[in-house]
């Protein structure tokens, strides 16, 4: 067998029998025995062969002695959660050394880049440090993350499906629904809407830990009011409208109407004593504006008036992309909220490989199950020494604190960090220019994890 011990350090090996003697072939170590325990003390750099005997048979132990000692995140705790990163360091004779090289014996478990490690999967890997001809090894264990969450949409249309995932996909998971009669979930986290209602989806990891997410199962389409006159701008619903209905006062049997889309008449209406209704599904990709005109059965004595236009629109619409700008930004969580607390929708990472340190997130929900628009905004975790500010750029002049999802234009969120002035001792003026505030857009302090939470919320009705 083999073992490693640091100079001035002690290790104890346990045999399966009572040990009578243990002798080293040199002075790099000292060794004593106590029952089944073999106590080894490191004296100087090098290797030793210890011969162990129980009085009837012998075994040998190859021992490496090194004055080089490895640390993980400045600690002797050699466990790290899967998906996390860590920093290796080493000391020689108690003093930190910089000219050290680290390697891993299994990159699939732990990969090494310089002094940084990445925990790629559950398991153990042996890390070797080499410095000035001396080497040392240390086993590091990658363990399951302490917590995880479910990411994905929070709404599913009846008869349709959405895919849920866990943000830290290590280990194995089983999925369950609190009510399969409203929404079911399969073994891969695919949720299918069954009937109107709310369910709780649970992901259970193989160690027993769980995460939950509330899913609303809703009708695939819903009537939304878009005008209180006989015309409406419906360009933002382009591609999602199935029917249009015109509500009138004084409507009687025998009245007909014509609908124009983009200034061209495309269909005529029939009435059911309350609404003029037309199917426009074949025109939904061309919808921009619509105007209604009553042309049959009209006379002054009938006193018919248009009081509104409604559209039958998909309740789960996909918006154009939102772009987040920052510098050296990582761990961005887009969170969806409805009347308060938010739930994670998607987790992304921005790195130097992204163009201009930006990231675009597409296919976010626009409307809730009541046909009301959602709003998205960003919240950055506090970074010591910096003040954070935000810029939300869309076509909505009414709100400067969020992105209006219903405007279907380009939405951009810029996170700006401004370095705080030092609160230290004020030095006497030398007449020079002095120090000016040093401001960087989206600066992230090295080693600091920043989280962008992109939250969507429904506008309140008054």
DSSP 8-state code for residue 4: E
Q: How far apart are CA 14 and CA 20, in angstroms?
A: 13
Task: Read off the pLDDT of residues 281-299 as tens digits, 9 standing for 90 and up.
Answer: 777 776 666 666 655 444 3
Mark whether 450 and 326 lie in a shared domain: yes
CB atoms within 10 A of CB 139: 12
Residue 377 pLDDT > 60:
yes
SS3 450: coil
More confident residue, 210 or 229: 210
Mark whether 184 and 245 lie in a shared domain: no
In which band, very low, low, confident or very high, does the pLDDT at 302 lie, cut at 50, 70 and 90?
very low
- Is 329 part of a structural domain of the chain? yes
Q: Which neighbouring-strand residues pair with 243?
A: 279, 312
More confident residue, 196 or 124: 124
CATH assignment of the domain containing 195: 2.60.40.1080
Phi, psi of 369 (to 5 degrees): -70, -15
Choose one of 95, 123, 143: the last residue of a domain. 143
Q: Give the largest Cα separation in the chain, rounded.
A: 121
Mark whether 106 and 161 lie in a shared domain: no
What long-range pairs does 78-81 form, CB within 8 A, spacing at least 24?
A: 78/138, 78/139, 78/140, 78/141, 79/140, 79/141, 79/142, 79/143, 80/110, 80/117, 80/119, 80/140, 80/141, 80/142, 80/143, 81/119, 81/142, 81/143, 81/144, 81/145, 81/146
In which band, very low, low, confident or very high, does the pLDDT at 459 lie, cut at 50, 70 and 90?
very low
pTM for this entry: 0.54
Mark whether 269 and 197 lie in a shared domain: no
Task: Read off the pLDDT of residues 79-119 as tens digits, 9 standing for 90 and up.
Answer: 999 999 999 999 988 889 989 999 999 999 999 999 999 99
Residue 278 pLDDT > 70:
yes
- Is 430 part of a structural domain of the chain? no
Mark whether 133 and 154 lie in a shared domain: no
Quick one: tokens of 24? Answer: 């080293």
**Segments forming the whole domain that contains residue 345:** 322-423+436-458
Instruction: Supply the pLDDT for residue 222.
Output: 73
State the total domains in the chain.
Answer: 5
Task: Read off the pLDDT of residues 16-28 as tens digits, 9 standing for 90 and up.
Answer: 999 999 999 999 9
Cβ(315)–Cβ(222) below 8 Å: yes
For the chain, give the mean pLDDT: 74
- Segment 214-226 shows an average pLDDT of 80
In which band, very low, low, confident or very high, does the pLDDT at 332 lie, cut at 50, 70 and 90?
very low
CATH assignment of the domain containing 262: 2.60.120.260
Mark whether 354 and 401 lie in a shared domain: yes
Mark whether 129 and 173 lie in a shared domain: no
Mark whether 136 and 172 lie in a shared domain: no
More confident residue, 68 or 412: 68
Mark whether 338 and 454 lie in a shared domain: yes
Choose one of 294, 314, 334: the last residue of a domain. 314
Mark whether 367 and 269 lie in a shared domain: no
Instruction: Supply the pLDDT for residue 53.
Output: 95
Out of 111-125, 192-206, 381-395, which region has the weakest mean confidence (pLDDT)?
Answer: 381-395
Whole-number Cα distances in Å, 381 to 168, 279, 413, 439: 20, 48, 15, 18
Mark whether 385 and 454 lie in a shared domain: yes
Mark whether 307 and 233 lie in a shared domain: yes
């Amino acid at each position: 067998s083999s073992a490693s011990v640091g100079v001035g350090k002690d290790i104890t090996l346990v045999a399966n029998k009572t040990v009578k003697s243990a002798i080293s072939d040199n002075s790099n170590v000292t060794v004593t025995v106590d029952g089944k325990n073999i106590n080894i003390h490191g004296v100087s750099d090098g290797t030793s062969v210890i011969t162990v005997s129980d009085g009837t048979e012998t075994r040998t132990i190859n021992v490496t002695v090194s004055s080089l000692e490895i640390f993980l995140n400045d600690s002797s705790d050699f466990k790290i959660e899967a998906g996390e990163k860590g920093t290796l360091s080493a000391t020689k004779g108690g003093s930190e050394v910089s000219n050290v090289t680290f390697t891993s014996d299994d990159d699939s478990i732990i990969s090494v880049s310089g002094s940084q490690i990445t925990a790629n999967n559950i398991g153990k890997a042996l890390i070797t440090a080499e410095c000035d001809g001396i080497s040392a090894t240390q086993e590091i264990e990658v363990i399951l993350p302490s917590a995880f969450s479910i990411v994905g949409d929070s709404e599913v249309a009846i008869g349709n499906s959405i895919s849920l995932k866990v943000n830290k996909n290590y280990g194995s998971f089983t999925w369950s629904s609190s009510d399969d009669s409203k929404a079911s979930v399969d073994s891969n986290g695919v949720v299918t809407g069954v009937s109107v209602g709310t369910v709780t989806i649970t992901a259970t990891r193989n160690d027993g830990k769980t995460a939950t997410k509330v899913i609303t199962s809703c009708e695939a389409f819903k009537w939304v009011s878009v005008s209180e006159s006989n015309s409406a701008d419906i360009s933002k619903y382009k591609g999602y409208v199935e029917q249009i209905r015109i509500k009138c006062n004084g409507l009687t049997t025998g009245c007909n109407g014509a609908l124009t889309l983009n200034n061209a008449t495309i269909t005529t209406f029939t009435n059911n004593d309350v609404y003029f209704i037309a199917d426009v599904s074949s025109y939904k990709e061309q919808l921009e504006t619509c105007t209604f005109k009553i042309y049959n059965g009209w006379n002054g004595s009938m006193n018919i008036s248009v009081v509104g236009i409604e559209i039958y629109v998909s309740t789960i619409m996909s918006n154009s992309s939102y772009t987040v700008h920052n510098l050296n930004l990582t761990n961005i969580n887009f969170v969806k909220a409805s009347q308060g607390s938010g739930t994670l929708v998607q987790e992304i990472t921005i790195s130097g490989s992204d163009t201009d340190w930006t990231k675009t997130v597409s296919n976010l929900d626009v409307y809730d199950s009541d046909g009301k628009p959602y709003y998205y905004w960003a919240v950055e975790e506090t970074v010591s020494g910096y003040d954070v500010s935000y810029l939300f750029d869309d076509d909505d002049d009414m709100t400067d604190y969020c992105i209006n999802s219903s405007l279907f234009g380009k939405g951009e969120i810029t996170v700006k960090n401004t370095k705080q002035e030092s609160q230290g001792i004020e030095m006497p003026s030398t007449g020079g220019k002095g120090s000016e505030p040093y401001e960087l857009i989206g600066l992230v302090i090295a080693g600091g994890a920043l989280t962008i939470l992109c939250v969507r919320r429904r506008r309140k009705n008054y």
